[in-house]
Structure 1
Amino acid sequence: MTNLPILDIAIIIAYLIAMVLVGVYFSRRNTSADEFTRAAGRIPGWAIGISIYATFLSSNTFLGVPGKAFGGNWNAFVFSLSMPLAAWFATKYFVPFYRSTEEVSAYTNLEKRFGTWARTYVVICFLSTQLARIGSIFFGISLTLQALTGYSMVTIMVVTGICIVIYTVMGGIEAVIWTEVVQGVLKTLGAVIIIYLVVNEVPGGFSDILRVGSAENKFSLGTVDFDFVQSSFWVVLLYGFFINLNNFGMDQNYVQRYHAATSATEANKSVWLCVWIYVPVSLLFFTIGTCLYTYYMQHPELLQSIKLQAASEQLGLAKNRAEVAQLAATMKPSDYADKVMPHFMVHMIPTGLLGLIVSAILSAAMSTISSGMNASATVFTEDIYKRYFNPTSTEKNSLKTLYIATVVVGLIGMLCGIAMIGVKSLLDVWWTLSGIFAGGMLGLFLLGLISKKATNKDALVGTILGVLVILWMSFSYLLPVQYDYLRYPLHANMIIVVGTLSIFLAGNISQKLRRQ
């Protein structure tokens, strides 16, 4: 590491070694697939709740949320406000359902309800979502550490990826959950330290921040008009509800934790604990973004260096100093927002604390990546390997498959992260990709859960129509200018909303037409 003091390097290395040792410690218990995937149901609800919170609070939140607040306003905070409603729905319907089935995979029951195709389809959607998520988080962590160390983003992804793979493979879900408990505390502490340091650097403190934020409309949650073309309050609220319902209701990352709890009551408590921690902490990250905006508006010379860096990276190798300066002069705050937090860390956080903050950001990435790797490996083993290749798999074979799948998912996730290098907004990329992939899952699951009379044929009709709608919404922007009237007119965050409702409603209409 070229730019960090020795003390900070020591703190980061100590943290990485500690995470690997946790995996080594829990590896002694991983004697079966059940131990690896749900820790034999012995984890207390409070630990699972902090674990779910840590999974939500990824590096996308740590870096992307302050970036959104810096480049725009608090519109994205409405996503957090939607969580209690989604949690209520999940604890009332989904958690009891999963605990009653005792199936470790969230998708096994879809085959019983609608047939093999339904299970396979949802598994493909889930794995695609996880790879996109893991990739975006690898990209986010490498973006920060590159600014701190000078190493290439690819090198950073490989080094951190190796550490994550080791403790996830060795320790299974139990290691993932207990490391996430530590990581949840660490990343929250990191956020508190950052906001204290930023406020301390602003001459007028919070009064200046409130004044600038109010004058620049930084605290706005978006227009409350029923406008679904731009990112209004209602667009983000609907998007948040459907995404969070997908997370709490059918994402293997969370379903697996419900099974790891000692009881259904403890599993429900874990969901609510996650919500009551995440909502105020996410508000803290939006506050950091507004604080950073105030600080850098008061220091234009520092802001100029960020613009030049962003312009240089955007132009790539084929650039000269004049072109970089010209592009930097035209940049809006949203064009370089994701680079502000790393810049502040490099220049304003004192030695020792910087190592702690970097460890917090590392923990934000590692908790979500390890969780996604474990969940993806479980889905692959249960829904693909044991379903199609080896239905009579022994415990030894299943455990070996889980190990191999975990490594493979980690490697593919790294490649996805490398492919994202150069994007402008980390949070926008993740929200768009998750909306596309998750939109096709939730509608089918709700159809099976709510519409008791819907058959395999109804579900197939609804899914085909829904997927066509999602493909149109996602890619119609590529149509030539003369076909503008055929383009999807609403905001991109509405893809999951319209996609979910398309599958659910088309399936119900098919059912009624068939019965008539």
Structure 2
Amino acid sequence: MSEIAQNFGTLNWSILILYLVGNLFLGYILSKKVTTAEDFFIGDKSTPWWAIGVSVVATYISAMTFLGAPGWAYGDGMASIALQLNYPLVVVIVITLFIPFFMNSGVASIYEYLEKRFGPTTRTIMSIIFLVSQALSSAAILYATALVIEFITGISVETAIVVVTIIALIYTVMGGIAAVIWTDVIQAGILLVGAGIIFYALIDQMQIPVSDALVALKAEGKTDALVTSIDWTETTTVWTGIIAMTLYHITVYGTNQMMVQRTLVAKTIGDAKKSFLMMGFAAFFIYFMFMLMGILFYSYYGGRSFEDPNTIILTFASEYGLPGLMGLIAAAVLAASMSSLDSAFNSMATISVVDFYQKYFRKHETSEHYLKASRIFTLVWALIIVVPAFMYIDSTGSILEVLSKVGSYFVGARLSMYGLGFFSKHTTERGLLVGVFVGFVAVAIVATSSDVAWPWYCAIGAIVNIAVSWTASLILDGRQNEWSDYSVKGQIAKFKADDEEDKQDGWYRVAGKVDPISYILIAFFFVTLIFLYAFNALI
């Protein structure tokens, strides 16, 4: 048992237990509003946009970010923020192309778009890819969180896995997507309060002024966030962040049911877009704070080595000795983890019911029947996720690494499926499926026989997939005479033909048209680059 766990104490346990009970109570309150499957999947359209936006932010900032980002910057310096610079570009693309298609269709599963554009096989394959990859990534988050909880509290990893799963499962089963969103709001608050206290304490405890520490850190190359070298094997270059990770994060926010589903809860398309815009503007500040903490920890500890860099923030919090702080940090870690897990449970249950159970097995049941099925599938996926989480306990880390790499093989396929759907006239389902297979093989070869950094797998897979899919479609099915209604050009033409308004409350409903605020977000992206350059240059 770690020294931190031995000194966890009654006050810290009380804070942690109060947080867990609060989540369950909120789930119980919200369960009274869930009477149909639609309520479980997409709510009653009464959730404010800012709550959805906070939920979007909280879901992606998992326990791995809360603990891992400072640890990463401790080793690699501010250059590690390069992978997070692309959010403004990603959000502009997602709200311009993806959200209009999903909101206009009124569906619960975003993969239904692929069936309308290409055919049922494409939808089924994408749904399976999502379920498998999400189960593996959720298990990794669960395992990593359990390790931290063991380090903080002393309870076993096995017990932590079970407890975290049960708590997230119960309130998700009761309250559906509404419980996911509102618990995420609370969890985001706890996460940021915990991080803010640590940041303040770190600055307060520095042995030298922060300005002097930054000068010393600059001399060691820790403050340069914009590494411009062109090296395919390096992960933290500007080009990796702006090109490769932009494409990667488009799949995270545009083609991932877990992320997109909460926007379907919004009252209007404007609210859906605003919820994503929050991430576009907020992500830089959040990640900058965590990365800055990392390099300041490097100064504070004199660059000493840690067996596990993820424990740096925990070690500091324990040494600081503020009563109740470790309980708050434990709650923050759980909050970060459960905001990802609850979203995974709900979205996987949604896909299981809408894309498989209802589509292939029980087509004409009542909404109450599908609600019961959704809750059963939520339980099933929670049990399934626990299995690989337990498998990680006995591994040396290699299984986790292999599964993470395999999951990245599919990212290019997901991106290219939607990209071809939006912009290609001649791509057909048969050609697309050939491209998906060849793209997967190409990425597997690159990953196993070269040193190319993993963020580039998405770009490589997408390029191969698009080229092969388009060519195979022409060979197998020939040129198509008309644009699909579910392409960008097809949708614009359909809006004109039906004499529909392309705007609602000042926001574009039709895909492909850029909202004015998107230009501000693009300008903000360039401001962040200038800021990071100045941050290093003016020290």
TM-score range, shorter chain: 0.7 to 0.9
1:241 aligns with 2:246: yes
User: Displacement, 1:424?
Assistant: 6.7
User: Displacement, 1:201?
Assistant: 2.1
Shift in alpha-carbon separation, 1:148–1:114, aligned structure 2, 3 A = same
User: Displacement, 1:507?
Assistant: 1.4
Q: 1:153 corresponds to which residue?
A: 157
Cα RMSD (Å): 2.3
Q: 1:4 corresponds to which residue?
A: 8
User: Displacement, 1:437?
Assistant: 3.4
CA contact (8 A) 2:222 2:295 kept: yes
Match of 2:311 among 318, 330, 339: 339
Match of 1:387 among 342, 359, 383: 359
Q: 2:410 corresponds to which residue?
A: 437
Matches within 5 A, 1:329-478: 336-421=308-393, 432=405, 434-474=407-447, 476=448
Shift in alpha-carbon separation, 1:416–1:427, aligned structure 2, 3 A = closer
Shift in alpha-carbon separation, 1:410–1:208, aligned structure 2, 3 A = farther
Q: 2:468 corresponds to which residue?
A: 506
2:29 partner letter: Y
Q: Which runs of 5 or more structure 1 residues have no equivalent in the other structure?
A: 311-335, 477-486
Count of residues in Structure 1 that have an aligned counterpart in Structure 2: 472
Structure-1 separation of matches of 2:147 and 2:131: 24
CA contact (8 A) 1:125 1:438 kept: no
User: Displacement, 1:464?
Assistant: 1.8
Moved more, 72-81 or 245-254: 72-81
User: Displacement, 1:219?
Assistant: 2.2
TM-score, with structure 2 as normaliser: 0.83
CA contact (8 A) 1:147 1:346 kept: no
Q: 1:273 corresponds to which residue?
A: 278
Q: 2:493 corresponds to which residue?
A: none
Q: 2:503 corresponds to which residue?
A: none
User: Displacement, 1:397?
Assistant: 2.3
CA contact (8 A) 2:102 2:113 kept: no
Q: Deviations over 1:86-123 (max 9, x none)?
A: 11111111111111111110101212222222111111
1:378 partner letter: T
Match of 1:16 among 10, 13, 20: 20
- Equivalent pairs: percent with the same residue? 30
Structure-2 separation of matches of 1:36 and 1:283: 35
User: Displacement, 1:72?
Assistant: 1.5
CA contact (8 A) 2:67 2:310 kept: yes
CA contact (8 A) 1:64 1:426 kept: no
Q: Deviations over 1:131-175 (max 9, x none)?
A: 122122212222222111222212111111111111111110001
Shift in alpha-carbon separation, 1:74–1:410, aligned structure 2, 3 A = farther
Shift in alpha-carbon separation, 1:91–1:24, aligned structure 2, 3 A = same
Q: Which runs of 5 or more structure 2 residues have no equivalent in the other structure?
A: 480-539
Matches within 5 A, 1:47-62: 47-62=51-66
User: Displacement, 1:337?
Assistant: 1.5
TM-score, with structure 1 as normaliser: 0.86
Shift in alpha-carbon separation, 1:269–1:110, aligned structure 2, 3 A = same
Structure-2 separation of matches of 1:219 and 1:416: 38
2:461 partner letter: G
Q: 1:123 corresponds to which residue?
A: 127
Shift in alpha-carbon separation, 1:73–1:396, aligned structure 2, 3 A = same
Matches within 5 A, 1:100-111: 100-111=104-115
Structure-2 separation of matches of 1:349 and 1:427: 34
CA contact (8 A) 1:136 1:430 kept: no
Q: Does the residue aligned with 2:77 lie in a helix, a strand or coil?
A: coil
Moved more, 503-512 or 414-423: 414-423
Structure-1 separation of matches of 2:46 and 2:323: 40
User: Displacement, 1:402?
Assistant: 0.9
2:161 partner letter: M
Hey, which of these two has a bigger chunk of helix by percent? 1
Match of 1:495 among 457, 460, 463: 457
CA contact (8 A) 2:47 2:266 kept: yes
Moved more, 462-471 or 94-103: 462-471
User: Displacement, 1:251?
Assistant: 1.0
CA contact (8 A) 1:111 1:119 kept: yes
Q: 1:27 corresponds to which residue?
A: 31
